[in-house]
Amino acid sequence: MSINCIRTLIEDAAQSHSDKTALVFNEKSITYSELFTKVNQVAYYLKELDLPKDSRIGIYSNKGIEQVIAILAILSTDYILVPLTKLLKSEQVEYIIKDCDIKCIITDRLKLESIEEINFDGHIISYETAGKEIASFEEIFKYYNKPYACDINGHSNALITYSFGMSGTPKGIVISHRNLIDSARVVSQYLKLEEDDVISAILIFNLDYGLNQIFCTLYKRATLAIHRFILAEDFFNHLINDKVTVIPLMPINITQMFDEDMHRIPSSELFENVKTITSSGGNVTARMISACKKTFTNADFYSMHGLTEAFRSTYLDPSQVGIRPDSIGKAIPDVELYVINKDGKECAVREVGELIHRGGYIYKGFWNAPEQNAERFKSVQILKDVINLEGQLTDEIVVASGDYVYKDEEGYFYFVSRHDNMIKTRGFRVSPYEIESVVSRCFPQIEQCAVFSVNNELIEEEIIMVYSAPSEIAPKEILFELKKHLASYMIPSRVIYKKSLPLVQSDKNQVNKDELKRELSQN
């Protein structure tokens, strides 16, 4: 068995900390020994399906102990995990299923209906008993009690996570078992995680930041306290009742936490156990940091910046958060970062250029997407005018991130913009092309449509839709239709009608979104 796989962590934890609580969810808890047993039972059943090696298995369900068991069971086989966030609509799930040829889906009773809508012809497994034709965890836990063993290669593909790219359709990024171990190791190191930590799992387990909470827990033999964030009051109760010490967040979570009257937030004395807060998936503001510091008085606040193509690039040390809250920090251990201009030269201090990620935590590439791979994964030769490559191998891969940043006099990085038109809102990356294509399909009377974003401190970026048509369509009608086809975080907050849209001078087929933004800012 490779030492560079999550399966090794599960086995070791079950041996060394068998009676320790591994997972907590509301009133339920499970020890490392019990977790190992249930993971083995599900993994055994999956192997009995006798699917080809590297077959993709999707998880499309709400968060809970069963979902973590499903994740770890798939990672204990030679199959590949494909997380499908519950926020996706059925047609988006159908696209992903076809794109990577998912052979099996693990789900819950609530999502079964959505799967039935798309006529999925692969294997379906439900957490709860849902009928004679569908296997369930309840049955697996009852009847599958044979010993299970596996041999996982650390360089094998473990996971494909999907996000929305320039083409408007989701693109899967392929992550190896070694990547998962490396990310757990480095985060545990710079966050100073300990065995007695209780890590809050409020993030959904569909992207690497959320999944990393599971793997860090296993790496340190800590405890993962699962919570579904709906109301701030319930979240604060979760932190108190579960004695949470580490809180991984996205900026939108911080906004939700402190959206209510500050007088209704529990006393800071109740959160003395909280020692670490992390934030990734968007820019944090000084106001967000201040609110966290006021409530979690003993906590160090880490602001972090990651890439789609690599687990993480930077973190801002807590000692610097109050001094330079707008900075994304410096490179994490084992990573080198460079800022280069269009000529490949290293940028001067405070000169904006593209962030190049070299070193650890680079993922394997986009699934069946050669154009995206060619755009983002480059030969180290791209840095030939920046670093000395004499005598070095030239097949080393670096990531040209598409993030435009600058570096200050003390070496701290600051994010400026994306090269593409991706929108970051509520912790998600959203492609405007995905929304525009749905509008085009559902509203043939709309002649032109432009989707873009404007800054909104509460959710980072606010989605705006502007369109032209022979006559105005009620905004409610447009939003009602979009909600049938798009995840909730992709729905525009404003829909604006104009008789005609400004066009780019050099391309009369392209809407001038910059001009629309200027018009909007003047209103």
Q: Domains in the chain, please, with CATH?
A: 6-15+32-176 (3.40.50.980), 334-418 (2.30.38.10), 423-522 (3.30.300.30)
What is the reported pLDDT for 393? Answer: 65
**Sign of the four-CA dihedral 251, 244, 182, 34:** negative
Q: What is the dihedral of CA 78, 6, 82, 29, to 10 degrees?
A: 120
Provide the H-helix boundaries in 285-431.
286-295, 318-321, 370-376
Provide the H-helix boundaries in 310-460.
318-321, 370-376, 432-442
- Reported residue count of the chain is 523
- What is the pTM for the complete model shown? 0.83
Distance CA 463, CA 454 (A): 7
Nearest C-alpha neighbor of 135 from the set 159, 112, 155: 112
What is the reported pLDDT for 509? Answer: 56
What is the reported pLDDT for 273? Answer: 95
Q: Is 403 helix (H, G, I), strand (E, B) or coil?
A: strand
pLDDT in tens, the chain (523 residues): 688 899 999 999 999 999 999 999 999 999 999 999 999 999 999 999 999 999 999 999 999 999 999 999 999 999 999 999 888 888 888 999 999 999 999 999 888 888 888 888 999 999 998 877 899 999 999 999 999 999 999 999 999 999 754 445 778 999 999 999 999 999 999 999 999 999 999 999 988 999 999 999 999 999 999 999 888 889 999 999 999 999 999 888 888 888 766 667 889 999 999 999 999 977 787 788 888 999 999 999 999 998 989 999 999 999 999 888 889 999 999 999 999 998 999 999 988 889 999 999 999 999 999 998 999 999 999 999 999 887 766 689 999 998 888 999 999 998 877 766 678 888 777 878 778 878 988 998 998 899 999 888 778 889 999 999 889 999 999 999 999 888 888 999 999 999 888 876 554 457 888 889 888 877 6
Enter the tokens of residue 410.
């003390």
What is the reported pLDDT for 514? Answer: 83
> Which residues does 224 contact at the CB level (< 8 Å), separation at least 6?
22, 23, 24, 68, 198, 199, 201, 213, 214, 217
Distance CA 134, CA 126 (A): 7
315 and 334 Cβ atoms separated by less than 8 Å: no
